Amino acid sequence: MPAQPVFSADSIGKSFGPRTILKAASVWAREGQITVLFGRNGCGKSTLLKIGAGLLRADHGVVLFAGRAYLRPRLPELASRGLFYLPDRDLLSRRLTVRAQIRAVEWRFGGTRSAEILERLGIHGLVDRTPAELSGGERRRAEIATAWIRAPRCLLADEPFAGINSSDAEVITEAFRCLAQEGCAIVATGHEVRQLMDTADDIVWMAAGTTHGMGTPDKASQHEQFRREYLGAARR
Amino acid sequence: MRRTTERTHLAVDSIGLPYPRYLGTVIRRSVLVWLLVRITYVVVLMAGVLSFGLLSLPEGISAGLHPAWTIRVFLVMVAAFLVWWDRRRSHELLLHANLGAAPGWFWTASLLTALVLDVAIQAILEML
């Protein structure tokens, strides 16, 4: 019997004007596990994560986090209870140095591991630069470091592997595994099928405004419709 | 002792306290932006006076130095909006939301800073 989710966005519906993006979509994250949300471009993965993080208001549905139900969640409230939302880009301010932004996280949530985490992510020598002075991969690693230093109960990561090279992706995968080992519940989205399937403990597939729990990556890759309509040649 | 510490943390969480150094940065920017907005108002007003002759020059100078309270409120709001827009443009909203800081802190800081400057500078100008 799997553990109860720490986080779940349940039966979420969302329309933008006449266009319905989400009909009844759900995603969840369990302690120490990495849930990967797959789906085609524009199917509503980012919208679902933003609703889960309290950045967008759902038309219907409920967000459950750390034992509380929220009809209208707001990120500051969820964040103070342990949620961290990592957007597909620009988590960090372009103007302030990475060090200044990490200090803000340490001030708010404490933490004495920043030196170790920065070292593990290979950005300890870059902290006095602003994110605008970093490459895409370095910036992504700095963002992941910020999330890791916060030590969240739940991390919602929108396309963490988008636009970065394979060596950066390996470092980030390792960081996610470490975070999960420390008990963090992670939801990640993306299109990097091999990378994400190898990282995931649980797969959720989004299609036509709704979601399907696919189970473990092995189970998911045996699912005929999922293989045919999403994985294609990537997982044969 | 532990219960007191937990209560303090709960209080900090419930009011969404912002990182003080960053709040200082927002206040410094608010000072700068309010000054720019006020100077721009005077420059635009004087340009209007000189170009279109809407007011005489002494009336234009008087209106520039002693704007009506509605205009002063408008300039304060514009300054606060520009500070927010600048924060948004440089991607400074999300990290602080992730830190649990209520956005109201930054709006209030910008508005109050502009308001205090407006009242103080206007009081000085009235004395001249």
Res B4 pLDDT > 90: no
pLDDT at B8: 52
First to last CA, chain B: 56
**Cβ contact A90–B22 (<8 Å):** no
B94–A contact, CB cutoff 8 A? yes
Q: Is A182 exposed, middle or buried (0-12, 13-18, 19+ CB in 10 A)?
A: exposed
Which residue of B22, B92, B99 is in closest CB contact with A79? B99
Res B128 pLDDT > 60: yes
**Cβ contact B21–A103 (<8 Å):** yes
Pull the structure tokens for residue A8: 């779940």
What's the pLDDT tens digit per position in A143-189?
999 999 999 999 999 999 998 888 999 999 999 999 999 999 999 99
Res A134 pLDDT > 80: yes
Give chain A positions within 8 Å (CB) of B95. Answer: 91-93, 101, 104-105, 146
Instruction: Quote the CA–CA distance of B61 and B68 in Å, as a whole number.
Output: 13
B5–A contact, CB cutoff 8 A? no
Structure-token match 């991969």, residue found: A137
pLDDT at B2: 47
**Cβ contact A103–B22 (<8 Å):** no
Q: Which residues contact A39 (CB under 8 A, 6 or more apart)?
A: A45, A189, A205, A206, A207, A230
Q: Where are the domains of chain A?
A: 5-235
Give chain B positions within 8 Å (CB) of A101. Answer: 95
SS (H, E, C) A96-143: CCHHHHHHHHHHHHCCCCHHHHHHHCCCCCCCCCCHHHCCHHHHHHHH
pLDDT at A1: 59
Instruction: Quote the CA–CA distance of A129 and A108 in Å, as a whole number.
Output: 22
Res A14 pLDDT > 90: yes
Q: Write the ipTM.
A: 0.89
* B13: confidence class by pLDDT, cuts 50, 70, 90: low
Maximum distance among all alpha carbons in chain B? 71
* B77: confidence class by pLDDT, cuts 50, 70, 90: very high
Span A3-7, average pLDDT: 88
Whether A40 and A68 have beta carbons less than 8 Å apart is answered as: no
Res A73 pLDDT > 70: yes
Q: Walk across the sheet containing A5-16 and list its strands.
A: A68-70, A60-65, A5-16, A19-30, A210-215, A202-207, A34-39, A185-189, A154-157, A83-86
Residue B117 lies in a domain: yes
Task: Report how far apart, in Å, the C-alpha atoms of B86 and of each of A94, A97, A122, A130, B45 are.
Answer: 11, 17, 31, 17, 25
B83–A contact, CB cutoff 8 A? no
Chain A residue nearest residue B11, CA to CA: A80
**Cβ contact A103–B96 (<8 Å):** no
Res B3 pLDDT > 60: no
A60–B contact, CB cutoff 8 A? no
Pick the CATH number of A5-235 from 1.10.3720.10, 3.40.640.10, 3.90.1170.50, 3.40.50.300: 3.40.50.300
The number of distinct structural domains making up chain B is 1
What's the pLDDT tens digit per position in A27-51?
999 999 999 999 999 899 999 999 9
Question: What range defines the domain where residue B32 resides?
Answer: 18-127
pLDDT at B9: 55
* A231: confidence class by pLDDT, cuts 50, 70, 90: confident
Pull the structure tokens for residue A153: 């109960």
Give chain B positions within 8 Å (CB) of A104. Answer: 19, 21-22, 95-96, 99
Res A201 pLDDT > 50: yes
CA angle A85, B17, A50 (to 5 degrees): 20
* B62: confidence class by pLDDT, cuts 50, 70, 90: confident
pLDDT at B84: 95
Span A121-137, average pLDDT: 92
What's the pLDDT tens digit per position in A102-125?
999 999 988 788 999 999 999 999
Percent of chain A residues topping a pLDDT of 90: 77
Half-sphere exposure of residue A125, counting CA atoms within 13 Å on the CB side? 1
**Cβ contact B98–A150 (<8 Å):** yes
* B1: confidence class by pLDDT, cuts 50, 70, 90: very low
Q: Which helix (H) or strand (E) holds B65?
A: helix B57-65
* B17: confidence class by pLDDT, cuts 50, 70, 90: confident
Chain A residue nearest residue B25, CA to CA: A96
Chain B residue nearest residue A90, CA to CA: B91
B103–A contact, CB cutoff 8 A? yes
Span A73-91, average pLDDT: 93
Span A83-110, average pLDDT: 92
pLDDT at A61: 96
Mean pLDDT of chain B: 87
Span A206-217, average pLDDT: 93
**Cβ contact A108–B16 (<8 Å):** no
More confident call, B115 vs B8: B115
Give chain A positions within 8 Å (CB) of B99. Answer: 76, 79, 104-105, 108-109
Instruction: Quote the CA–CA distance of A92 and A77 in Å, as a whole number.
Output: 19
B96–A contact, CB cutoff 8 A? yes
pLDDT at A234: 57
